Amino acid sequence: MQSPLSGLCEVLKLVKSSASSYREQLQRSEAVTRAVLIDPVLRALGWDVANPATVEVERPISAGTLSGRLDYFLNTDNQDKPIVIEAKKLGERLEASFPQIVQYACTLRIDSLFLTDGLRWFHFTQVSSTNHEPTASIDLGRTESSDLTKAAAFFVERLDAALYTPEAQKNEEVLQGKIDSLEARLKQMERLCQQLTASSTPEIISLAQQDTRENWLLIGESWDAKKKKPARFRLPDDEIIPVRSWTQILTESCKFCLTKNQHLLNQLPISDRTGRATKLISFDRPPSNLNSDSFVANDQVIYVCTNYSANDVIANVAYLFERFCSTSPTRAAIVLAE
């Protein structure tokens, strides 16, 4: 069975790679930093960044002398214990924003706050007028690939959406069991990373080889996705990526099509399979009443409308691959979570 940490480690590895590849653009724009470096981490931790009921982006605030917008306001099941994430563009000096975090904590009475530029993450708890220091921090830019499991554990311990479900809050034994399991899997992942580091040909070990025994459901075939959750997604070129939601599958499919066929950027906006007025892929953010996601292609922020049911997501993905990737292998498929 694949460890949940392995999927998060893959996302963190991708974030490090994206930070290096798009450094110049990320250092110029907070919006691009959020789309490329921060949103993928939140999605991997189970937060639906396209659902404003769960993650409020640019939430307006006005309390006393404090006014402005919170970059991310994460709603937990305990409404008195939300989580706030303040984002900065890549490379910005985060220490200069510590007073801003203190102001948020003291004025809004928020106990858990994060400050990040996508690579450096500071976590603040129990902030007061006399306690300004972060409780913990991590720098992905300085974290070696062999240590990514420790970075993943940092996020899971502090920001995993599963920690804020009613079940975990009501049953301390269940939560402790999850922690014990996480520690065991962390040790397992550390041993695996050591083996990969010692190997001269780590490229030989692929996700495709690990998943040969799983039941893959092909895109385009008839099956019902309703009330089911995806675990892994195989793209038409056989790359396998861990996924947590149908929204992520739709976004990854759009990203694949535009990356493999960059001339499609000149055809944006692109309608969905029904041809409705609201566009599936566009340079413009969809209306605020519709769920959406974003990614960067050719140094431009691309928006994806994700306001679809699970079955409609599958239908749109099949439509995209058939229309724009006709020369690619028709192996796109999904493994459902158990």
* pLDDT digits 0-9 by tens, 280-296: 999 888 887 888 888 88
| 212-249 confidence digits (pLDDT tens) | 456 899 988 889 999 899 999 999 888 888 888 999 99
Instruction: Return the pLDDT at 233.
Output: 92
Instruction: Return the pLDDT at 196.
Output: 59
Pair 153, 125: CB distance under 8 Å: no
Q: Which helix (H) or strand (E) holds 31?
A: helix 30-33
Percent of residues, the chain, with pLDDT higher than 90: 39
Task: Tell me the C-alpha distance between 69 and 36, whole Å.
Answer: 20
Instruction: Return the pLDDT at 159.
Output: 92
Collect all residues with Cβ–Cβ distance below 8 Å to 77 and sequence separation of at least 6. Answer: 164, 165, 166, 169
Instruction: Return the pLDDT at 169.
Output: 43
Tell whether pTM > 0.85: no
Instruction: Return the pLDDT at 53.
Output: 85
Instruction: Return the pLDDT at 213.
Output: 52
* 35 or 76, greater pLDDT: 35
Instruction: Return the pLDDT at 329.
Output: 56
Q: What is the mean pLDDT of the chain?
A: 83
Domain extents for the chain? 4-172, 210-336
Q: What is the chain's alpha carbon radius of gyration, rounded to the nearest angstrom?
A: 20
Q: Does 333 score more than 50 pLDDT? A: yes
Task: Tell me the C-alpha distance between 83 and 76, whole Å.
Answer: 8
- Find out whether the peptide bond into 329 is cis, omega within 30 degrees of 0: no
Instruction: Return the pLDDT at 166.
Output: 47
**Which phi and psi angles does 119 have, rounded to 5°?**
-110, -50
Q: Does 124 score more than 90 pLDDT? A: yes
Tokens of 83: 């989580």
Instruction: Return the pLDDT at 188.
Output: 61
| 139-162 confidence digits (pLDDT tens) | 999 988 777 888 998 999 899 988
Q: What is the CATH number of domain 4-172?
A: 3.90.1570.30
Quick count: other Cβ atoms within 10 Å of Cβ 31?
A: 14
Three-state DSSP state, 199: coil
- Split at pLDDT 50, 70, 90, the class of 88 is very high
